[in-house]
Each structure stands twice: as C-alpha cells, then as structure tokens.
Structure 1
Amino acid sequence: MKRAHLSILLMASTVLGMSGAAQAQDVTLTIESWRNDDLAIWQEKLIPAFEAQHPGINVEFSPSAPTEYNAALNAKLEAGSAGDLITCRPFDASLELYKKGQLADLSDLEGMRNFSDVAKSAWQTDDGSATFCVPMASVIHGFIYNKDAFEELGIEPPATEEEFFAVLDKIKEDGTYIPMAMGTKDLWEAATMGYQNIGPNYWKGEEGRLALIKGEQKLTDEPWVAPFETLARWRDYLGDGFEAQSYPDSQNLFTLGRAAIYPAGSWEISVFNEQADFEMGAFPPPVQAEGDTCYISDHTDIAMGMNADTEHPEEARTFLNWVASDEFATIYANALPGFFSLSSTPVEMEDPLAREFVSWREKCEPTIRSTYQILSRGTPNLENETWVAAANVINGTETPEEAAKRLQEGLASWYEPQQ
C-alpha cells in the first residue's frame, strides 16, 4: 500500500510538473506602434488569425500617439521596458535603433525572401548588408478624382502632362468645381502630394534618386528643377486662398464635392470612402509625353522589427515570419485599403480604388521619396527644406531655379558626395 501510495504521489507530481511546463511555454509578445488608428484591426483580425495557428503565443498591440512614438519608444528601449516587437518607421529613425543595438538583425529570417531589395531598402544598413525590420506596407502617390465631375464635364483621366493641363483648363473654364484641392499652408502637402508625386517621372525614379545619393546628379540639374516648373503652373488651378489652406481643408474641399481632383497619397482611401458621397477614381502621375515610361512613388511606410533584448526571440521570430506571409499581407491590405503589401506575391484587393492604385505597379516603375534615404541626415534637412521650396514655388515667392539652387547649396554644405 505504501508503494502504491508513493507511486500515485510520483505520478501526480509528474503531471503537475508537465502542466507547469506547458504553462511556462505560454508567452505574451507586446507590439510597440505609432499607428493607434488601426488598434481594432490588430485586435479583431490580425492577432486572432495568428494566435489561432500558434497556441501558446499571445500577442498584445500597445500603440502610442504618433507624435509621441519616437520619444516614448526610445525611453522604453533605454529603460529596458520596451515591447518584444517594434513597429519601424522608414529609414533613419529605425536605422539609428539598429546601430544602437536595440533592433535585431533579421537578415536570415526565412520570410525576408518574400521581399524585393526596394521593399527592404527602408530598413537596411546603407550597404544593404543587414535588414532589421520586416516590410509591412507602402503608400502610392497619384491623383484621386471625382468621377461624377469628370462625367458631367465630359473629360477622361489624363495620361500625359499636356492632357493633364487641358483637363485642368476645362474644369476651371466651367467654374463648377475647383480644379485641384491642395494648399500650401502646411508645407509638407506641397512637397509630398506635389513634388514627390510628379517628380519621379522627371528624374526617372530609382535611377535619379540613387544618382543624387552618389553625387552623380545635382538638385540644380534639369530633372530636379523641372518638377518645380510644373508645380509653379499648378498655382492657377488651386482656387482662391490656397496659400492659407491646410491639409484638412484640402481633404474637406474634395470630399464635399467642391474640387474635382485631389493630388493624393493612397492613405486617403479609407478616409475618403467614409466621407465622400460620390464615386471616385484615380490616375497615376501623367508622363511628359505619350510612350514615356511611367514612374510612381511606391513609398515604403511601415515595417516590424524585434527588440534585441526581448526575452522571447524565437516566438518573436515566429510572429515576424507570419508578418512576412501572404496571409498577413491579405488581411492587412484589405483592412487598411491604401496601405499596400510590399510582398513580392500580389495581394487580391477588395476596394476598387485601392485596386486602381496598386494596378500601376504592373505598368510603372516603382521608387521611393527622393529625400528619405541618407539625404536628410544633416542640417539643413533636405526633406524639410523641400517642403518649404515646393510651397514657395507654388506660391510664387521663389522661382524653380532659386528653390533648386538653395536646396543644392544646403545639401552640399554637409553631404560630401555633393561637394
């Protein structure tokens, strides 16, 4: 009886030990992010899809306010209290975290094979030897238009620059609609929806962008001045008081049906779908002449990395491989139309406007914003200076040549390849 009793005790202790081991295997991964607007998508769609396939790994999405994210994340990383997974902004902010040893090298992550070099470029070292974040999504630049307005006026989406200005002239002549909704008050709008939108067709996308980084082209060269010359012509089509018009003002003018065309980023799609009561279409930046190769800014926007000090590196890598999967790409891109998967595998889009934007990848060469990689690390900051230059040119307070000369002098003052 004593032996039987002892056996029962041993079995019980073994079962309890196994139960404890199973419980010990359950881990919780925390995601740091600046995207607090998509909390519901993570909680209701993405995390449940992952957890259903990976019992024992729980995930919590813990966003900060966008304007506070960088400072809050840096403080947490320094204090050792940051989450296991870090949502990565493109280029220098994340590169600095990697250089400090706070983001892990993910170059050998199996899922990385699903992404092109351009897709990974925003989260790599300058020499491309290390990749430290899994690309999640990009945004595409172009023009959104009011289909009802175009139908009323008997006009079609333009393909060339000549057709583009002919369309603007017809809308202006009719007088029912402001031809284009864009202001210059917030500065960045003029550069992001203006210069970086149309510019790649002039400097030939990656060819020009990389030539600028290498010092083989200058901002005073024709391909970099010409977009400013075109922007100067936009002045006549932006409506009265555009100089005092903010970004939200521009959005409202378009969604209320008062403007026919909106120089856009695809991130507007979700907002416009909710606010506009008319059908919308989109067209890519017009080329200079029929038959020219078209280029689009397919700008790397968001990715996810691993805290180098996470206590759960294997589980974090499991999650990151899922972020690199077709399943994640499909859920994310359709839950947030306008934020497009960077995966090499095409994603079937449900939203018609999002489908239109992403279809341009099939006929146009992709590039990223010219100021984002390397060229805005010094003072003056080229990205911020381009905001000012684009707004000044549209306002008519600076000529295209003056703006380009000032930008070139600022860049050359600290960037050796341009000296």
Structure 2
Amino acid sequence: MKKLIRTAAVAAIAALSLAACGGGGAASPTNVSPTGEIKPREISWLLSRPADGAVINIMKKIADDYAKDHPGFSLNLITTPDRPSYIQKLETLAAANKLPELFDTDATPFAQQLAKQGKMVDAEKLLKDLGVYDNYRPNALNYQRFDDGSLYMVPFQFELEFIWYNKALLQQAGVSVPKSLDDIPAMCTALRNAGTTPIAIDGQDQWPLERYVAYQAFREAGSDFLQKLKKGEAKFSDPAGKKAVDWMAALGKAKCFQDGFSSQGYSDAQNQFTSGKAAMYNIGTWELPSLATDKLDPAVRDNIDFMTLPTTQGSVTTANEYVSPSGIGMAVNTKTYDPLVSDFLKFALTKYPAEYAATGALSPTTDVKTATPANATPLYTKALGAASDLGDQQAMPWDTQLDPTTDSRLKQELVLLVQGNITPEQFTSTMDSTIAQNAPKFFK
C-alpha cells in the first residue's frame, strides 16, 4: 500500500505538470486584496489534523462567530488525519484542479509545484496585507518556506522538541546528562548495565527514529546538508552523512532503544518514560500536558527535566538551534480566492492566536501569552520560555524534505541499521543509490 501511495505521488506531479497547460487559478497569487461584494457561502478546508484537536475546535468556533454576522457562511472541514491517505487525496484533487478554498500541505516539492503554477496565494503578501505578518515567530514561518525562501503556507502551531530525561535513573546508573551527542552511546551502555531502558521511542511510526539520523548531520554541517542531500548534491558517504550513520549504528550497538522498539507505538514509548522505566524520551511541547502537569505519576514527576539537542565538538549549530516545527501549514487556493475568503481569513487569523494560546499551547505568533494550566509543574513554564531563545538555524524533520520514495526507504533502512541487521556501509550504499535514482525526478 505504501508503495502505491509513493508511486501515486510521483504520478500526481506528472499529472499536475500536464494540468498546468490548461491554465491555473482565476486570480494572481499576489492579488491578496480582492475587491467586490462579500457573498457568504460554504467554503471548505481540506485538513490533515486530529479531528478533536485544538486547531480544528478553535477554527470551528471562529467560523461560527463569523457566520453570525455573515448569514449563509459556513466552513466545511474535510478531515483526513492519516497523513499518507491525506497526501494521496490532496494530490488527486490538485491534478484534477479541484482543490477547495483552503488546504493543508507541508513545504514539499509537490506543493512548490502548485505554487509555481500560480495555484496558491502568496502567504507572505497575504499576512502582510492583513497586518499580522510581524506577529509571527520567524521560525514558525521559516518552517513553512520553500527552499527559495518563498512562503505559501500559514502556520497554526508552534512546537519545540526536547530530550526529556529522568534524573533519578541517570543518577542510579552513575551517568550525567549528556553534554554531547557523542556521549549518548556510552550513557546507554551504563543505563543498560543498571537495568534501565535508556531511550523510549515510538518505532512503529518510524518518524521518531528519523529524527535521530538528522541530529549529527545538523550539528556537523547545519541545515545545508539536508538541502543538498535531498537533491542528490550530497551523500551519506560525505563526512556529515557518515557521522550520522556511524552514530545511529552506535546507538543500536549500545541498545539505546527499548527491546522490540520497531513494533511499539506512540503510547508505548510515552508509557515507558512516564512510568519511570526509560531514562530518556525525545518529544515535543505538544506532550507538555503529559510531562509537565500533575497528571504525571508523583513518583516520576519530581525527577523529570529536559534538555535541548546536545551539540558536538566543532558543531556549526548551537544548543538553541534544534527542531522547532510549526506543523503542517494551510495554503489558500488562488482559483477560489475572493472577497469572502479574504475577509474570513482576516477575521480568523486575527482571533486565532489568543484562542490557541488559551489552550496552553505555544502560538505561532508572539503577540499573545500562552496560558499555563493550573496543574502545571515549573517545567511547563520552563519549556514555554525556551521559545524566546531560539537561534537562526532550524533542524528540519527529514520526512517533510526528502522525496517520498527515498523517505520510505530511509525509514526501513534505519530500523535495520539500528537493529544490527545491516552494516553502516550497506546502509550508506543503499541510501546513496536510492537518492541518486529518485531525487532528480522529484526535484526538477
């Protein structure tokens, strides 16, 4: 099934290229202030977000409020939380030129193809026209940008990813909080010898393991390595890539992850850490309600802390530069962009930040203050505070950057590498060959 979805992605780009010959949207991507009468109607948003999540619940409320003054208006939310299924639906609709008024997308080559064909409204011009651009966190916007720096997606979230750890378990094993990524394999060995699982990970969904392979390369060569790697202009056999591969093999040899990690899911990993069975857990601020409130078992709560991604000797990136995603972005369809959509977006994007911050989450803007829950521990405030001290470089999740075929193969090969089923040399040969075969077709 995954192979069919990946094949469909490449086919959709080909179909999209052909569809471009038939014309793009009805308006210019830079015409962000359409004139004319606001005529209420139903507009649709194709989403890839949890149906009961804060973003959808808040936007439902905002749409209802807007409809009070605009009878006949409604927002139809078409939700497909499963990302592979969503991508397939998005690409099918795009190829048929039937995208709704609003739709979710990452800053992928496919989305950039849409933008180049004039099918997406220029989000930077839109946000500036609405007078809210300067309120957005630079990292939140940069996460949504294409390689050329253009911005066609609006962020609705902002997260920071930390490595959480249990101080008591580290102390029992006689180890300190790692100051360098290079310290982690030896730390894992010590924790294993003390009878503790070093790192809890969701291996079933594969993307958490993919985070790890990005870390050494980001510290060694910054974001530039990934930008070149995904296009076939860099290789895993290059110094930064080799360091990443060797480190992943070392994590596996030291048995850093829980036994049987590849078949264990998100809740399994979370439970391992929150029950005090695992010493470390790499996860984002979306888990603050589970890790930094009184919901956490008192026996574990007082021993929990977090660190940002450790650096390495000679790092070109700093401790305050790490993964800080703003989630999947929202694009605006040029073809259906009219005074109603423009007016609703102005209403929604003005009200959304305060509503989102009130849920205890970091807003993608800085003009509102996040409400700290009454049952929060001091770690909650500490985590929120890290958002004000971010560097300029950003470690991008590789699954949003690589071509689909390469990304799928990478996920599979990483599991085999960490489990010791293949050598670093075999991994490198396979992945460099996969990138060479698929990147040129995807990054035209």
**Normalising to structure 2: TM-score of the pair?**
0.70
Query: Is it true that 1:62 corresponds to 2:62 in the alignment?
Result: no
8 Å CA contact 1:91, 1:123 repeated in 2:
no
Call closer, same or farther: CA 1:189–1:355 in 2, change over 3 Å: same
Task: Trace 1:213-224 onto structure 2 (pairs within 5 A).
Answer: 217-224=234-241
What is the rounded CA distance, in whole Å, between the counterparts of 1:388 and 1:361 in structure 2?
36
Out of 284, 291, 295, which is 2:308 matched to?
284
Residue 33 of structure 1 and its aligned partner are, at CA, apart by: 1.5
SS at match of 2:155: strand
Residue 385 of structure 1 and its aligned partner are, at CA, apart by: 2.1
Task: Trace 1:71-90 onto structure 2 (pairs within 5 A).
Answer: 71-73=88-90, 83-90=100-107
Call closer, same or farther: CA 1:266–1:200 in 2, change over 3 Å: farther
The answer to which structure has the higher strand fraction is: 1
Residue 226 of structure 1 and its aligned partner are, at CA, apart by: 0.9
Show the counterpart of 1:13: none
Q: List alignment gaps of at least 5 residues for structure 1.
A: 1-22
Q: For residues 102-159 of structure 1, what are the alpha-carbon distances to aligned partners after superposition, in whole Å with 9 as ceiling and x for unaligned?
A: 4333342124454577644565555445x32212234433312235545766765333
Out of 397, 400, 404, which is 1:369 matched to?
397
Query: Is it true that 1:359 corresponds to 2:373 in the alignment?
Result: no
What is the rounded CA distance, in whole Å, between the counterparts of 1:394 and 1:406 in structure 2?
15
Query: Is it true that 1:132 corresponds to 2:152 in the alignment?
Result: yes
What is the rounded CA distance, in whole Å, between the counterparts of 2:95 and 2:235 in structure 1?
39
Q: For residues 326-362 of structure 1, what are the alpha-carbon distances to aligned partners after superposition, in whole Å with 9 as ceiling and x for unaligned?
A: x53343255374xx54446685463644752761662
Query: Is it true that 1:386 corresponds to 2:378 in the alignment?
Result: no
Amino acid at match of 2:235: K
8 Å CA contact 1:201, 1:296 repeated in 2:
no
What is the rounded CA distance, in whole Å, between the counterparts of 1:401 and 1:98 in structure 2?
39
Show the counterpart of 1:174: 194
SS at match of 1:367: coil
Show the counterpart of 1:196: 214
Residue 261 of structure 1 and its aligned partner are, at CA, apart by: 0.9
Amino acid at match of 2:69: G
Moved more, 275-284 or 147-156: 147-156
Query: Is it true that 1:250 corresponds to 2:269 in the alignment?
Result: yes
Show the counterpart of 2:430: 406
What is the rounded CA distance, in whole Å, between the counterparts of 2:197 and 2:192 in structure 1?
7
Residue 223 of structure 1 and its aligned partner are, at CA, apart by: 0.9
What is the rounded CA distance, in whole Å, between the counterparts of 2:246 and 2:147 in structure 1?
32
8 Å CA contact 2:273, 2:281 repeated in 1:
yes
Q: For residues 69-124 of structure 1, what are the alpha-carbon distances to aligned partners after superposition, in whole Å with 9 as ceiling and x for unaligned?
A: 33445566678876533233342453354456543333421244545776445655
Amino acid at match of 2:410: T
SS at match of 2:334: coil
What is the rounded CA distance, in whole Å, between the counterparts of 2:143 and 2:182 in structure 1?
34
SS at match of 1:36: coil
What is the rounded CA distance, in whole Å, between the counterparts of 2:312 and 2:123 in structure 1?
41
Call closer, same or farther: CA 1:413–1:244 in 2, change over 3 Å: same
Compare CA radii of gyration and give the structure with the larger one: 1
Show the counterpart of 1:308: 334
What is the rounded CA distance, in whole Å, between the counterparts of 2:387 and 2:245 in structure 1?
24
What is the rounded CA distance, in whole Å, between the counterparts of 2:256 and 2:124 in structure 1?
48
Residue 26 of structure 1 and its aligned partner are, at CA, apart by: 4.9
8 Å CA contact 1:25, 1:56 repeated in 2:
no
What is the rounded CA distance, in whole Å, between the counterparts of 1:78 and 1:410 in structure 2?
26
8 Å CA contact 2:59, 2:348 repeated in 1:
no
Show the counterpart of 1:103: 120
Residue 266 of structure 1 and its aligned partner are, at CA, apart by: 3.9
SS at match of 2:46: strand
Aligned length: 383
8 Å CA contact 1:329, 1:343 repeated in 2:
yes
What is the rounded CA distance, in whole Å, between the counterparts of 1:286 and 1:355 in structure 2?
17
8 Å CA contact 1:140, 1:298 repeated in 2:
yes
Residue 395 of structure 1 and its aligned partner are, at CA, apart by: 0.8
What is the rounded CA distance, in whole Å, between the counterparts of 1:157 and 1:349 in structure 2?
30
SS at match of 1:298: coil
What is the rounded CA distance, in whole Å, between the counterparts of 1:222 and 1:291 in structure 2?
13
Call closer, same or farther: CA 1:319–1:263 in 2, change over 3 Å: same
Amino acid at match of 1:390: L
Show the counterpart of 2:353: 329
What is the rounded CA distance, in whole Å, between the counterparts of 1:285 and 1:162 in structure 2?
12
8 Å CA contact 1:112, 1:134 repeated in 2:
no
8 Å CA contact 1:299, 1:368 repeated in 2:
yes
What is the rounded CA distance, in whole Å, between the counterparts of 2:63 and 2:175 in structure 1?
47
Q: List alignment gaps of at least 5 residues for structure 2.
A: 1-36
Residue 237 of structure 1 and its aligned partner are, at CA, apart by: 2.7
What is the rounded CA distance, in whole Å, between the counterparts of 1:303 and 1:215 in structure 2?
26
Give me the identity figure in percent.
Answer: 20
SS at match of 1:297: coil
What is the rounded CA distance, in whole Å, between the counterparts of 1:120 and 1:65 in structure 2?
24
Amino acid at match of 2:46: E
Query: Is it true that 1:296 corresponds to 2:322 in the alignment?
Result: yes
Task: Say what the alpha-carbon RMSD is for the aligned residues.
Answer: 4.0
**Normalising to structure 1: TM-score of the pair?**
0.73
8 Å CA contact 2:353, 2:363 repeated in 1:
yes
Out of 307, 317, 324, which is 2:342 matched to?
317
What is the rounded CA distance, in whole Å, between the counterparts of 2:99 and 2:278 in structure 1?
45
What is the rounded CA distance, in whole Å, between the counterparts of 1:349 and 1:158 in structure 2?
31
